[in-house]
């Protein structure tokens, strides 16, 4: 059996969408545009966007009042959304639609009082965003 791999394989549709959102925001509104977390795990793309005026931040408190904020393809927790809303920031959500689907499932399970188990890397933006949809007070990290 012969297996052929296309090289380079490129980004998934969700990442392509997130990159386009940042590029379009820069083109329309100009620099600076604040992006919560690096929009994709690719140094070349991140550096290119940074050179064009994207500022990658980890905390909403790093964003000045009246600025434009983009959520990365990894998604964010409800707490982050609420903080951005309370600050009246202009927000563009570049969360991957597939990540959004997972967020909706976790939120639905939480509302029903069901437990959710997520296997992933602690501290990774996508894991934090997903677990941030879960509002059950008994939920949380599993020690390990």
**Residue 5 forms part of a structural domain:** no
- Cα–Cα distance for residue pair 127/67, rounded to 1 Å: 26
- Run of H or E including 141: none
Clarify whether residues 109 and 40 are in a common domain.
no
**∠ CA 43-91-64, rounded to 5°:** 80
64: number of Cβ within 10 Å: 11
The total domain count for the chain is: 2
- Angstrom distance (rounded) from CA 27 to CA 52: 9
Q: What is the pLDDT of residues 58-74, one digit of tens each?
A: 999 999 998 999 999 98
Q: Name the pLDDT band for 117 (thresholds 50, 70, 90).
A: confident
pLDDT for 2 equals 84
Across residues 67-94, what is the average pLDDT?
A: 92
pLDDT in the model for residue 54:
98
The one catalytic residue in 23, 38, 114, 126 is 126
CB 55 within 8 A of CB 33: yes
* Mean pLDDT value of segment 32-56: 94
User: Which residues 6+ apart lie within 8 Å of 115 measured at CB?
Assistant: 109, 136, 138, 139
Verify whether residue 138 is a known catalytic residue.
Answer: no
Q: Structural domain of residue 110, as residue ranges?
A: 99-132
My answer on whether 42 and 73 are in the same domain is yes
Calculate the average pLDDT of the chain: 87
């Amino acid at each position: 059996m012969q297996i052929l791999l296309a090289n380079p394989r490129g980004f998934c549709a969700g990442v392509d969408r997130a990159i386009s959102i940042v590029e379009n925001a820069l083109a329309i509104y100009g620099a600076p545009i604040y992006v919560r977390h690096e929009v994709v795990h690719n140094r070349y793309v991140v550096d290119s966007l940074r050179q064009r005026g994207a500022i990658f931040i980890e905390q909403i408190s790093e964003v000045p009042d009246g600025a434009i904020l983009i959520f990365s393809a990894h998604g964010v927790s409800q707490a982050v959304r609420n903080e951005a809303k309370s600050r009246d920031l202009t927000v563009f959500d570049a969360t991957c639609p597939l990540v959004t689907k997972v967020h909706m499932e976790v939120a639905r399970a939480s509302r029903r009082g069901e437990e959710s188990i997520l296997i992933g890397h602690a501290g990774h933006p996508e894991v934090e965003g997903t677990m941030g949809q879960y509002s059950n007070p008994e939920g949380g990290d599993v020690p390990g």
